[in-house]
C-alpha cells in the first residue's frame, strides 16, 4: 500500500513502465490510437496532481488499469452524447429537404428567443453543454459551481425549451433522450 506521494523519479519510472500497456488497454476500448494515448496521458497528469489524496490499496497496475478503463468507457459515453447532439442539430438543419424553409426559420427564431429568455446562468450552462460539448465537470469547474448545479440547469433548460419554444413533439422527445443519455453517461 502506497502511503506517501511518489517522487518525480518514481513517477517517471511508473510512466515509462506503464504507459504502453495502459495505452493498449485504452485502445481496446476506444479503438483510436491518439485518443487512447490522450486518455493515458490525462490519467497520469491527474494521478500526479492528486496522488497525495489517493491511498492505493493494492498494486499501482491494478489501480491504473481500472482508472484508464473507466476513463475510456467515459470517453465512449461522452462521444455517444456528442453524436446524439449532432444528430439533433442535423435533424434541425436547414439542409433537411423534408422541412419547409419557413418552418425552419420560425423554429430557429423561437428556439433562439427561448434560449435568450433563460436566466443568464442557465443559458450559459446550457450553451456550454449543447453548443460547446463541454463535460459537466468542465462546466462546473469553469463556472465554479457544483456538478449537481450544472445538471439542474441542463434539465431546467431542456424543460424550458420544450415548454417555451413550442418545440415539435419529435424534437422534444430527442431533447429528453439527450438529457437522459447525458445524465446516465456522464
Calculate the alpha carbon distances from 57 to 45, 53, 60, 78, 163 in Å.
Answer: 20, 13, 9, 29, 50
CATH topology of domain 8-76: Rna Polymerase Sigma Factor; Chain: A (1.10.1740)
Is residue 23 within 8 A of residue 37, CB to CB? The reply is yes
Show me where the domains of the chain are located: 8-76, 92-185
Confidence of residue 174 (pLDDT cuts 50, 70, 90): low
Q: Which residues are CB-neighbours of 153 under 8 A, at least 6 positions away?
A: 121, 122, 125, 126
Closest of 21, 76, 74 to residue 44, by C-alpha: 21
Q: Which helix (H) or strand (E) holds 64?
A: helix 60-91
Is residue 87 within 8 A of residue 184, CB to CB? The reply is no
Is residue 161 within 8 A of residue 127, CB to CB? The reply is no
Q: How high is the pLDDT of residue 16?
A: 94
Higher pLDDT, 106 or 173: 106
Q: How high is the pLDDT of residue 30?
A: 93
pLDDT of residue 181 exceeding 70: no
Could you tell me the pTM of the whole model? 0.51
Each residue's pLDDT tens digit, 56-107: 888 999 999 999 999 999 988 888 777 766 666 555 555 555 555 566 677 6
pLDDT of residue 168 exceeding 70: no
Whole-angstrom Cα Rg for the chain: 21
In CATH, the architecture of 92-185 is: Orthogonal Bundle (1.10)
Q: How high is the pLDDT of residue 72?
A: 94
- Any idea which residue has 459551481 for its cell? 145
Answer whether 8-76 and 92-185 agree in fold. no
**Distance (Å, rounded) from C-alpha 136 to C-alpha 147?**
6
Q: Which residues are CB-neighbours of 70 under 8 A, at least 6 positions away?
A: none
Q: How high is the pLDDT of residue 89?
A: 59
Is residue 131 within 8 A of residue 154, CB to CB? The reply is no
Is residue 164 within 8 A of residue 175, CB to CB? The reply is no
Amino acid at each position: 500500500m502506497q502511503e506517501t506521494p511518489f517522487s518525480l523519479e518514481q513517477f517517471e519510472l511508473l510512466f515509462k513502465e506503464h504507459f504502453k500497456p495502459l495505452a493498449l488497454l485504452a485502445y481496446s476500448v476506444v479503438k483510436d490510437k491518439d485518443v487512447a494515448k490522450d486518455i493515458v496521458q490525462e490519467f497520469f497528469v491527474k494521478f500526479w496532481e492528486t496522488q497525495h489524496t489517493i491511498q492505493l490499496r493494492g498494486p499501482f497496475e491494478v489501480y491504473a488499469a481500472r482508472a484508464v478503463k473507466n476513463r475510456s468507457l467515459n470517453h465512449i459515453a461522452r462521444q455517444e452524447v456528442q453524436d446524439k447532439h449532432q444528430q439533433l442539430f442535423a435533424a434541425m438543419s436547414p439542409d433537411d429537404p423534408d422541412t419547409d424553409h419557413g418552418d425552419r426559420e420560425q423554429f430557429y427564431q423561437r428556439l433562439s428567443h427561448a434560449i435568450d429568455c433563460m436566466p443568464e446562468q442557465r443559458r450559459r450552462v446550457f450553451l456550454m453543454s449543447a453548443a460547446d460539448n463541454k463535460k459537466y465537470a468542465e462546466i462546473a469547474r469553469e463556472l465554479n459551481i457544483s456538478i449537481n448545479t450544472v445538471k439542474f440547469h441542463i434539465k431546467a433548460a431542456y424543460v424550458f425549451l420544450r415548454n417555451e419554444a413550442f418545440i415539435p413533439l419529435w424534437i422534444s422527445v430527442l431533447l429528453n433522450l439527450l438529457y437522459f443519455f447525458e445524465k446516465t453517461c456522464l
